[in-house]
Structure 1
Amino acid sequence: MTADRTEGERLTELAKRRGYYFGSSEAYGGTAGFYTYGPQGAALKSNVEDAWRERFTVQEGNLEIDAPTIMPEPVFEASGHLDTFDDMLVECPECAESHRADHLIEDNSDLEDAETLSLEEAAEEIAALDLVCPNCGAELAGQSVDNFNLMFETNIGPGSSDPGYLRPETAQGIFVEFPRIKEYARNRLPFGVTQVGRAYRNEISPRKSIVRTREFTQAELEQFIDPERDEPDLSAVEDVAVLLYPATEQQKDDGDYIETTIGAAVEDGSIGNAWLGYFLGIAQEWYERVGVDMDRFRFRQHLAGERAHYSSDCWDAESEVDGDWIEIAGFSYRSDYDLSKHAEYSEEDYTVFRQYDEPKTVERAVVDPDMSVLGPKFGGAAGDVKDALERLAERDPDAFDGDEVTVEVDGETHTVETDVTNFAVEEQTINGEHITPHVVEPSFGVDRTVYTLLAHAYEEDEVDDEERTYLSLSPEVAPRDVGVFPLVSNVPELVDLADEIVDDLRAAGLSVVYDDSGSIGRRYRRQDEVGTPFCITVDRDGLESDGETTVTVRERDSGRQIRVPVSALADELGAVRGGDRTFDDLAAEYDELTDD
C-alpha cells in the first residue's frame, strides 16, 4: 500500500498516469496554474457539468446562456472588479518571487482566515511569525504587503484604445445581458439564469493542482427575485440534514458545527435568508448524489471581512481533502448591487415592472421641456438633456425649486431655466412600479468538484492477494460506463459478440471501452483504477447457456458478478447510470456468481 504518501500526492500521480489531468505545456516547461484534462478527466468534468445542468437548470426550470469570456473595461468598472478584486501580495527581496501573504500566514500559523486582515496587519503577522520566502529562504519581515488585482487584461482590436478583461466570473455575462434576458422570462419574477463556462484569475501563487488555478470552469446560477414578494418553496428541502459552521461559531474559542436541517436553520435564523437555505439544501442533495463524501463536507458562513464587495451574506460549500477544507461552491445574496451598478453605468433599464393588486393614486413629478428653447441652445444634445431632466425630476424633485436646474450628459454639465422645463407635480393613477430585482447566486467550482470527487473516491484494498487501487465514482459521473472484454481474444465467437455488445451499448448512449489485452484480472484492475463502474466479460458459458445468450457483469467496488442476458444489458446499465436502479437491484433479479 501507499499510506506514506499524502492523499493529494496519490491523486496527482494517478491523475497524470491515467489521463485525468496534468500540467499544461510541459514540453515548454509548463506554466503554473494551467492544467489540461486528459481523456478520463475531460469525460468526468463533462459529466459533472451535465449533472449540474440537469439539476440547476432543467429541474429548476431556469434559462441558460453562453456569454463571451472577454468583456470591455466598462463592465468591470461598473461591477467593481477593477477596484476591489484583489489579493494580498508580498514580494521576496532576494529572488523577487511573489507570494500570497494570507496563504503564507495560514500555512505557518493556526489562523484560518488571514484574508480578513488588513494589509498592515498581514505585514505585522509575517514579521511576528518570522516568515521566509518558500522559494529561496530569505526573510520577509519588513516587506510591504500590497493589493494585486487578479484580472487578466487584454486589448480588443488593434492598438490599446479599447481595453478589455478576461472575465473573473461568469456572472457578469448574465448581469450585463439582463435587459434582454428579462424579456425571454416575460418580465416575470422570480426567474433564474445559469451559465457554465471558463473564468480567469491571475492568481499570485496557484497551488494544490486543479484547486487553485488561473483558468477554471464555473457553473453559476443567478436567481432574480422580488425581495418583498418572492419566497422559495422550502418544503422540497426543509428536511435535508446539513452540517453548518456559522460565523458566530467560528468566532468562539470553543465554536463547533451545528447539525440541523434546512427548515430548522432557516426558522431559527442560523441561515438568515430563505433563498440561501433553499439552494444549500439543493446543493447538499446534489453533492451527495454525484459522490461527495458527506462525512467530509460542510457549509461554512463567511466572516464579515471575507465577503465580496457585492455580498450581504455568503456561505461556502467546503470539502475536506488531505486534512484541509477547500471551497467548492459559494452561495451569496448579492441584493440589487449588480443590476443597480450596470444601470448606473450603462443607463439601460435593469428593472422589472411590479404589478399592483389594485391601482394606486400617487403624486408624481414630471417635466415637459420646451424643445423650441432646448433645441437652439443645446443642438444635437437637446434630446439627451430632455431625458436627463425627466430622470432628475423622478429622482430628485427638489432640484427644480430654484430658478435654474443642472444636469450632466456625457460628462458635460448643462444648465436649464426651471420655467423652460415646465416642471409640475401631478396626481396619477398607476398600476405598478419598476423595481430592481435582487440576486441570489449559487456559484460552483467545477474543477474543485472534480478534484473532490476523485479524492473522495480514491480507495486502496487487496483482491486475490494483490494490491488494488480503484476510484469509487458514482455511475452518473464516471468517465466510462462499462468495459467490455472477451475472456480470450483468439476465439472468434467471443470477439464477435463482444464487438456487437460494444456497438449496442454505444448506440444506447453509454461510454464503452473494449479491452482484450492481458489477463482478465489485469483488465479489471485497469478499469477499477479509472473508476469504470462495470465490466462485462464474454465467455463460453454465456454462449452455451440454455435460452438467451448471457455475459457476466462485474461491479467495481465489491467485485461481485452477475450473469445478465445480452438483450437486457443496455436497459439495465442505462437505468443504473441514471440512478433508477442499483447493482443490488440487478443482483436480486439475475443469477449471482459465487466462488463455489
Structure 2
Amino acid sequence: MSEGDESAALTELAKRRGFFFGSSEAYGGVGGFYTYGPQGAALKSNVEEAWRERFAVQEGNLEIEAPTIMPEPVFEASGHLDGFDDMLVECAECGESHRADHLIEDNSELEDAETLSPEAAAEKIADLGLVCPTCGADLAGQSVEDFNLMFETNIGPGSSTPGYLRPETAQGIFVEFPRIKEYARNSLPFGVTQVGRAYRNEISPRKSIVRTREFTQAELEHFIDPERDEADLSAVEDVEVLLYPATEQEADDGDYVETTIGEAVDDGIIGNAWLGYFLGIAQEWYETVGVDMDRFRFRQHLAGERAHYSSDCWDAESEVDGDWIEIAGFSYRSDYDLSKHGEYGDDDFTVFQQYDEPKTVERAVVDPDMATLGPEFGAQAADVAEALETLAERDPDAFDADEVTLDVDGEEITVDTDVANFAVETQTEAGEHITPHVVEPSFGIDRTVYTLLAHAYETDEVDGEARSYLSLSPSVAPTNVGVFPLVSNVDGLVDLADDVAEELRAAGFAVVYDDSGSIGRRYRRQDEVGTPFCITIDRDGLEGDGADTVTIRERDSGKQVRLPVDDLVGTLVGLRAGTASFDDVLDDNEVVEA
C-alpha cells in the first residue's frame, strides 16, 4: 500500500470507527476544526493522562488550568502581537490564500522555508514557477505578507476590553507565576504543567488533525536558577536517541547521530543538560505510549528557526506518510518570558534566593531631596527620583561630577549631584531576587494521537481473510477489553459474561460488551479500533467441578489462552501496565487453538 493509500485508509477508518472527523459537516464544514468521536476522545484522553502521569506526577510538578482567552496586554508582553506570523500568499485569480513556506517546501528540496523573509519567499515562488493549488494560476509576482495567527475577540460589552484566544498554553503559566511561586514555596527549581486548548488561525490547515486551528497542548514550564540548579542526568544518561543536529542538517553529507543522552550532553551536541534530561524522559514516554521508534527522531532547530529568546531548541518528530512532523518542542527560553511580564505587569516575577551565608556588600544609594525636585520638576519629580536611583545602581561614578544627566521618558534632564544625596553604604544581604530561566517541553496532543494511529495501523490476513487493525499500546487504547458471550441462549453463560464485564469495569478497565454476530466478526470489530484483549465466555468454561474459566485473546497475534476467572483482573492489570507480556500469559496457562 502506498503512502497516500495508507493516509486515505487511516482517514476512512478514523471517520467510520469514530476516532475523528471534520466538524460542522451538516453546515458544510469549516477547515481546521475536528470533532473526536467516542474512540478518538477516549484515545486522546488516555494520552493526556499518560502525559500527566509522567511529566506532572512522576516529576513532582504542579498543574494549573488557566483561561483560554486573555487580555491584549498579555500578548503585547509576550511578543505575540508583533511576531506571531506566518507567510501568506494570495492567488490573484481565485482569491485563495496559501502558506508560502509550505508551497515552497512541497515543491522543492528546501526543508526550512519558514526561515525565509517574505521578500525571499516571493522570489523563491517566482523562481520555482509555483502555481495556485486551487485554480492553477501563476503565483509569480504575488507579494508574500506576514499574517498574524491569533484569533481576536472582545471581553465584555460596549467599549469592551480587546482580548485574544491563547495561541499556546504557556502564557497562562507565566502570567500566574507571582502566585504559583508561592505554592512552590519560592524554592527553585520547580515545574508547572498545563494541558488545554490553544488556537491559531492557520492559513492553510492540512493533514487532518496534524495542522488545525484549535488543538490541545501539554506543556511544562520548568523554572530554574541557571547559576545554581544543575540537571541530574543519572536517570536518562543511558537512554539511546537518534539526533539530527543543526550541523548535520547543514552539511552536504550530514547524517543522523545515534548516541545516548549522557554522551550527547558530554560531547556538546545537546548544549544544555536540562534539555538533555527532558529529551531522555520524552524518548522513553513516546516508546511507552506506542510511537514506532524506528520512525522517530529529535531534530535541532537551525539558527533561523529558533525564536529570538531561545538559545537552543529541539523538536521530537515522527515520520508519517513519508513526511516528518513535529510532535513536541524542547526549548531553553532563558528569562525572556518572566522578564517581559515583569516589565509590562504590575507584580513581582522574581524569586528570592537565600545565600548559604549572609554577604556584606557595598551599595550605591541615593536619597533624593524631594523638596527641591518637586518645585523644579513638578509631575516629573517622582520619575526623576527613580532615574537617579537607577543611575546610582548602574553607574555610581557618575555622581563624582557636580551634575548628572538623566533620561526621563526620552527627555534629557540635568540635576545637581548634591540634590541626589548620593552615598555608598555597607549592607548585609541574606539573598537576592533573581528572574528564573525556563526550560520548556511542549507536546502536541493531537499530533501525538495521529502519530499513534498512523504507526499502529496494520493489515494482515487471518483465516484467509484480510484484516486491518490498530496495534495500539494497552496503556492508551480507547477500549481495554472486549467481553463476548459465545452464544446467548446457554444457561449461566450470559450471566458469567455480565459478571466478568462488571468486575473489569469496577477494576478500572474500559470494557465493551458484544453479543452480536459471529465471534470472528466481533474480534474484527475490536481489532479495528485497537482493543488489545478480548474475553470469550464459552461452554467449556462452565463445564466440570472446577472454577469457571474464560479465554483471553491478544489482538496482534490472535493467540488465545484459557485461564480461571479469578485470575483475569490481575492478568489484565499486568498486561496493561506492561509489567507482564502476553508471552508470559501463554507460558503460564492453557493455550487454546482458535
Q: What TM bracket, shorter-length normalisation? A: over 0.9
CA contact (8 A) 2:387 2:406 kept: no
Match of 1:442 in 2: 441
The DSSP-based 3-state class of the residue aligned with 1:305 is coil
CA contact (8 A) 1:457 1:472 kept: yes
CA contact (8 A) 1:562 1:593 kept: yes
CA contact (8 A) 2:481 2:534 kept: yes
Quote how far apart the aligned CAs of 1:491 are: 2.5
CA distance in 2, matches of 1:5, 1:223: 40
- The alpha-carbon distance between structure 1 residues 543 and 382, as it changes in their structure 2 partners (threshold 3 A), is farther
Quote how far apart the aligned CAs of 1:358 are: 2.9
Match of 2:253 in 1: 254
Match of 2:86 in 1: 87
Q: Which amino acid aligns with 2:487?
A: V
Match of 2:364 in 1: 365
Quote how far apart the aligned CAs of 1:213 are: 0.4
CA distance in 1, matches of 2:335, 2:152: 27
Match of 1:58 in 2: 57
CA distance in 2, matches of 1:522, 1:375: 89
Match of 1:201 in 2: 200
Q: Which amino acid aligns with 2:265?
A: V
Q: Which amino acid aligns with 1:262?
A: I
Match of 2:511 in 1: 512
Write the mapping of 1:212-231 to structure 2, written as runs, cut at 5 A: 212-231=211-230
Q: Does 1:130 align with 2:126?
A: no
Quote how far apart the aligned CAs of 1:423 are: 3.4
Quote how far apart the aligned CAs of 1:387 are: 6.3
Match of 1:175 in 2: 174
Q: Which amino acid aligns with 1:316?
A: D
Point out 4+ residue stretches in structure 1 off by more than 4 angstroms.
Answer: 2-5, 369-393, 395-409, 411-421
Write the mapping of 1:311-330 to structure 2, written as runs, cut at 5 A: 311-330=310-329
- The alpha-carbon distance between structure 1 residues 449 and 4, as it changes in their structure 2 partners (threshold 3 A), is closer
Q: Does 1:499 align with 2:498?
A: yes
Write the mapping of 1:385-464 to structure 2, written as runs, cut at 5 A: 390=389, 393-395=392-394, 397=396, 403=403, 419-464=418-463
CA contact (8 A) 1:84 1:309 kept: no
Write the mapping of 1:241-390 to structure 2, written as runs, cut at 5 A: 241-370=240-369, 390=389
Quote how far apart the aligned CAs of 1:106 are: 0.6
Write the mapping of 1:484-563 to structure 2, written as runs, cut at 5 A: 484-563=483-562
The DSSP-based 3-state class of the residue aligned with 1:112 is coil
Match of 2:564 in 1: 565
Write the mapping of 1:565-584 to structure 2, written as runs, cut at 5 A: 565-584=564-583
Q: Which amino acid aligns with 2:213?
A: R
Match of 1:24 in 2: 23
Quote how far apart the aligned CAs of 1:102 are: 0.4
The DSSP-based 3-state class of the residue aligned with 2:94 is coil
Match of 1:470 in 2: 469
What 5-or-longer segments of structure 1 have no aligned partner?
Answer: none
> Which is further off, 12-21 or 225-234?
225-234
> Which is further off, 279-288 or 564-573?
564-573
Q: Does 1:76 align with 2:38?
A: no
Match of 2:210 in 1: 211
- The alpha-carbon distance between structure 1 residues 396 and 212, as it changes in their structure 2 partners (threshold 3 A), is farther
CA distance in 2, matches of 1:382, 1:36: 59
CA contact (8 A) 1:170 1:196 kept: yes
Match of 2:117 in 1: 118
CA distance in 2, matches of 1:482, 1:415: 80
The DSSP-based 3-state class of the residue aligned with 1:223 is strand
Q: Which amino acid aligns with 2:590?
A: D
Task: Deviation per CA, 1:537-569: give whole Å up to 9, x if none.
Answer: 111110114411111110000001111211222
Quote how far apart the aligned CAs of 1:380 are: 9.6
Match of 2:152 in 1: 153
CA distance in 2, matches of 1:521, 1:413: 86
Quote how far apart the aligned CAs of 1:378 are: 8.8
TM-score computed with the length of structure 1 as normaliser:
0.95
> Which is further off, 565-574 or 6-15?
565-574
CA distance in 2, matches of 1:566, 1:554: 14
CA contact (8 A) 2:485 2:515 kept: yes
CA distance in 2, matches of 1:388, 1:70: 36
- The alpha-carbon distance between structure 1 residues 375 and 502, as it changes in their structure 2 partners (threshold 3 A), is farther
CA distance in 1, matches of 2:194, 2:397: 43
CA contact (8 A) 1:332 1:441 kept: yes
CA distance in 2, matches of 1:99, 1:374: 59
| Identity percentage of aligned residues | 80
CA distance in 1, matches of 2:546, 2:344: 74
- The alpha-carbon distance between structure 1 residues 163 and 378, as it changes in their structure 2 partners (threshold 3 A), is farther
CA distance in 2, matches of 1:591, 1:200: 53
Quote how far apart the aligned CAs of 1:432 are: 2.0
Q: Which amino acid aligns with 1:103?
A: H
Q: Does 1:39 align with 2:17?
A: no
The DSSP-based 3-state class of the residue aligned with 2:448 is helix
> Which is further off, 260-269 or 304-313?
304-313
- The alpha-carbon distance between structure 1 residues 396 and 404, as it changes in their structure 2 partners (threshold 3 A), is closer
What 5-or-longer segments of structure 2 have no aligned partner?
Answer: none
Q: Which amino acid aligns with 1:98?
A: S
Q: CA RMSD in A?
A: 2.3
> Which is further off, 13-22 or 177-186?
177-186
Task: Deviation per CA, 1:77-115: give whole Å up to 9, x if none.
Answer: 111111111111100001111100000001111111111
Quote how far apart the aligned CAs of 1:574 are: 1.9
The DSSP-based 3-state class of the residue aligned with 2:231 is coil
- The alpha-carbon distance between structure 1 residues 379 and 567, as it changes in their structure 2 partners (threshold 3 A), is farther
Task: Deviation per CA, 1:382-404: give whole Å up to 9, x if none.
Answer: 87876676556445556766647
CA contact (8 A) 2:72 2:164 kept: yes
CA distance in 2, matches of 1:492, 1:290: 41
Quote how far apart the aligned CAs of 1:244 are: 0.5
Task: Deviation per CA, 1:320-342: give whole Å up to 9, x if none.
Answer: 01110000000001011111111
- The alpha-carbon distance between structure 1 residues 360 and 542, as it changes in their structure 2 partners (threshold 3 A), is same
